[in-house]
């Protein structure tokens, strides 16, 4: 049984949205911590790093999938 390609992307999107949501919470917690005199710049830096890595990986793997999964097809998938 071959896996459905659409299901692959559903899982990838779920992972990316989860990572971006977690990183957003890290950035917000770091921002709140700055007003409470706590050393929280590592949370902000880590959150930005996670968002950057997640979006870059998603775009990179999408490009790879588009170029290597459509052998013999034109850009429109025909």
Q: How confident is the model at residue 20 (pLDDT cuts 50, 70, 90)?
A: very high
Q: Rounded mean pLDDT of the chain?
A: 80
18 phi/psi in degrees, rounded to 5: -65, -45
Hey, is 52 helix, strand or coil? helix
Q: Which residue has the higher pLDDT, 75 or 51?
A: 51
Per the listing, tokens 């917000």 go with 28
Taking the model in full, what pTM does it have? 0.68
Statement: residue 53 has pLDDT above 80: yes
């Amino acid at each position: 049984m071959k896996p459905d390609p659409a299901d692959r992307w559903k899982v990838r999107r779920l992972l990316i949205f989860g990572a971006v949501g977690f990183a957003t919470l890290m950035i917000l917690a770091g921002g709140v911590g700055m007003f409470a005199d706590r050393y929280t710049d590592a949370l902000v830096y880590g959150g930005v790093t996670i968002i950057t890595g997640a979006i870059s990986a998603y775009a990179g793997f999408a490009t790879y999938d588009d170029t290597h999964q459509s052998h013999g097809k034109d850009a429109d998938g025909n």
